[in-house]
Amino acid sequence: MAYTPPGYPGRAPMPYSTQEKKQALVRVRRIGGQLDALAQALEQEADCGAVLQQIAAIRGAVNGLMGEPAVALAEPSIHCRSTAMKSRAAVAFAPGKPLEIVEIDVAPPKKGEVLVKISHTGVCHTDAFTLSGDDPEGLFPCVLGHEGAGVVVEVGEGVTSVQPGDHVIPLYTAECGECLFCKSGKTNLCVAVRATQGKGVMPDGSTRFSYNGEPIYHYMGCSTFSEYTVVAEVSLAKINPQADHEQVCLLGCGVTTGIGAVHNTAKVQAGDSVAVFGLGGIGLAVVQGARQAKAGRIIAVDTNPAKFELARSMGATDCVNPKDHDKPIQQVIVAMTGWGVDHSFECIGNVNVMRGALECAHRGWGQSVIIGVAGAGQEISTRPFQLVTGRKWMGTAFGGVKGRSQLPGMVEQAMHGEIELAPFVTHTMELERINEAFELMHEGKSIRSDVYRHGSAVLGCAMNFAVYLPPQAETERLPVLYWLSGLTCTEQNFIAKAGAQRYAAEHGVIVVAPDTSPRGEGVADDPAYDLGQGAGFYLNATQLPWAAHYRMHDYVVDELPALVEAAFPASGMRGISGHSMGGHGALTIALRNPGRYRSVSAFSPIVAPARVPWGEKAFTAYLGPDRADWARYDATELLQTATERLPLLVDQGEADEFLATQLKPELLREACARADHPLTLRLHPGYDHSYYFVASFIGEHIAWHARALKG
């Protein structure tokens, strides 16, 4: 294809490669975001000279896209903003009191400062600790919040590392690059703004926040519980503008702290043994980091066994509840491991647990890292012999991560699915409901799913399935969305990685996710990942040895819904969705069973299994060589005789490594066109086959199903 820039009718067309077009698309989107931010800045009477300079730079970028030389704009003389702007904020006016949503005044950024519009923020136990009044450095009134992400709106004098339109994460651990600490190469701590940050003010000793003319303190140099905040330049990490703020905002504190503690502080190596005390957000991040480091054994410790399923899904090999034992937990772990673990991590802030974490470390070389922050005035203790015999007690802040130089790389890891963030986002709420978010955190009501096990008469084995019940299920019967996972998966993958629960809670939809095949002793299997256990293909097998157990179609269509509707407050309204092999299952099951489902969608589905290697192998084994039998489980074939025109929603990543060989979405588009069947097929540049892709769009799918199920 060729592209002729508008306004240049006499210019010869220029050919562009697919990769060049993708790169141009990313740049255009970035430019669009920058222009939006600059428009907001002008509306707020920002530093207009700086804004116009940025517009000139953007014009240069646009000209660069069209092959034209950049043209600088003359810098006009325009009055710049010198007055405060209005911003909604959740203000802590007094300790122990609920936050109040008010409209505050935010003064313009001064030298070395940046005005940021916050798009998403997390709530953290540190915020709750300060709000409780137990924080000796807590100052009131203040704007709390230190896990956030947003877009630069305006920059103060001398700021060079960011510009309006840049996407950023505020940092409570600055990185100036010039102080003794930064230059040492030994720590991520920075003292450039520490003295004033601890006093709740900006580097010049004043605050940018006020309410009814009275000053309001900043918090940890971030104050992300405000629609607009002012942050020191040295406390901002510039990130990829394509990153999902709802997820990457969590890299501003807990997730980075946990993962960084593994890699930077403890330096866990492949094969090492690890014990993690406390399975809150930081503890789960430690588990994930230990898995990344290829630790040989990861022991997760918590008094709440409801957290164990998620810990296992993130990599824990053992889960231990201290309440189940009649001796100290350190003795339990030493007995489990022989001499103790190579590394232990205390993620709670309990000084007694800190001692136990040290004393379960391996004699001679074991390390224990303190991450949790204990209350003011508390002290840790142990027998000196524990240290004399080679154990090391260590501490970490922000996981040893240098925010400005290293955090952007972690954002890239998250975008590529190397860091899982979706499981940490348990609820999504408007700012007005922030007190409810604190209550949920105090009550430990992170959204989770429960796993059930039953004897399946259809499959002839025990089967697991996960169920998420939203809060509305306590008072009413709700529709059910059945989720089918892909090759090698279990019921755990979706509930742990997709982040679907918060959207299901928003729309009042029960989510049920079964295992992907029959399993257990006596169930036929194959050494390959794409056949046998974990690869049931949601069909009824007719060939030996598979026919005895592999009847996933009937299990999903009949037995499982009957069980769910008898045991849970399900209304009988059903939707179905899935990923990869599960997307194939969702499409074929909906098409084969008209009237049984009100909605259907799929991520990266195998749309024509009879014409791709995965399907040909599975169908030959399960159904035999007759391709007429295969057509009964091929969506592109079923569409030609479908009696119900149920609209299909399909999302597909264009960077999916299986796109051309196994998935072939164009075959679904052609089949729907021939059958005049309604299809919404969305192709997404840059997305692969991972659950990061699913997590990025699962909210839209659940909304799609909710409209059909409740309409």
pLDDT at 529: 92
pLDDT at residue number 471: 84
Q: How far is CA 137 from CA 95, 124, 208, 243, 430, in A?
A: 12, 17, 19, 33, 28
Q: Is the pLDDT of residue 38 over 70?
A: no
In this structure, what are the phi and psi dihedrals at residue 2, rounded to the nearest 5 degrees? -125, 155
Helix (H) or strand (E) holding 40: helix 18-43
Q: 6: pLDDT confidence band, cut at 50, 70 and 90?
A: very low
Sequential DSSP letters for 622-680: HH-S-HHHHGGG-HHHHGGG-S----EEEEEETT-TTIIIII-HHHHHHHHHHHT--EE
Which of 362, 689, 701, 705 does the annotation list as catalytic? 689
Express each pLDDT in 570-604 by its tens digit.
998 999 999 999 999 999 999 999 999 999 999 99
Rounded Cα distance, 462 and 457, in Å: 9
Question: What kind and span of H or E run contains 62?
Answer: helix 48-65
Q: 447: pLDDT confidence band, cut at 50, 70 and 90?
A: very low
Cis before 609 (ω within 30): no
- The residue assigned the tokens 């010049």 is 204
pLDDT attached to residue 62: 46
For 574, the token pair is 């059903």
Q: Which residue has the tokens 């040295």?
A: 234
Q: pLDDT band at 625, cuts 50/70/90?
A: very high
Number of neighbouring beta carbons within 10 Å of residue 29: 13
C-alpha dist (Å) from residue 87 to 123, 210, 224, 229: 19, 10, 12, 9
Residue 629 is a catalytic residue: no
CA distance linking residue 491 with residue 468, whole number of Å:
12
Instruction: List, in order of start, the domains of the chain with CATH numbers.
Output: 2-65 (1.20.58.1000), 85-252 (3.90.180.10), 254-400 (3.40.50.720), 447-710 (3.40.50.1820)
Whether omega before 109 lies within 30 degrees of 0, making that bond cis, reads no
* 571 annotated active-site: no
The answer to whether residues 577 and 483 touch, using CB atoms and an 8 Å cutoff, is: yes
pLDDT at residue 67 is higher than 90: no
For 70-111, the pLDDT digits (tens) are 323 223 222 345 578 999 999 999 998 999 999 999 999 999
Q: Check whether 340 has a pLDDT greater than 50.
A: yes
Say which residue the tokens 């990313």 belong to.
26
**Among the ranges given (65-74, 181-190, 450-459, 630-639), the one the predictor scored with the smallest mean pLDDT:** 65-74
Q: Tell me, what's the pLDDT at 85?
A: 93
Nearest to 288 by CA among 257, 259, 317, 252: 259
Give the percent of the chain with pLDDT over 90: 70
Helix (H, G, I), strand (E, B) or coil at 174: coil
pLDDT score, position 73: 26
Which pLDDT band, with edges at 50, 70 and 90, does 400 fall under? very high
pLDDT band, very low/low/confident/very high, at 267 (cuts 50, 70, 90):
very high
pLDDT in tens, 185-212: 999 999 999 999 999 999 999 999 999 9
Residues 282, 347: contact at Cβ < 8 Å? yes
**313, 456, 580, 604: which is the annotated catalytic residue?**
580
pTM equals: 0.61
Query: What is the model's pLDDT at position 66?
Result: 35
For 346-355, write each residue's pLDDT tens digit: 998 889 999 9
Position 303 scores a pLDDT of 86
Q: Which one of the listed residues 656, 677, 701, 705 is annotated catalytic? A: 656
CB count in 10 Å sphere of residue 26: 15
Backbone angles phi, psi at 99, to 5 degrees: -70, 150
Residue 51 has pLDDT above 70, yes or no: no
Provide the 3-class DSSP secondary structure of residue 580.
coil
Q: Of 273, 297, 275, whose CA–CA distance to 286 is shortest?
A: 275
- Mean pLDDT (the chain) is 87
Range from 289-298, 439-448, 477-486 carrying the lowest mean pLDDT = 439-448
Instruction: Specify burial of residue 152 (Cβ count, 10 A radius: 0-12, 13-18, 19+).
Output: buried
What pLDDT, in 10s, does the model give residues 213-242? Answer: 999 999 999 999 999 999 999 999 999 999
* Distances from the Cα of 118 to the Cα of 82, 284, 430, angstroms: 21, 26, 12
Cα(174)–Cα(61) distance, integer angstroms = 30
User: Is 218 considered catalytic here?
Assistant: no
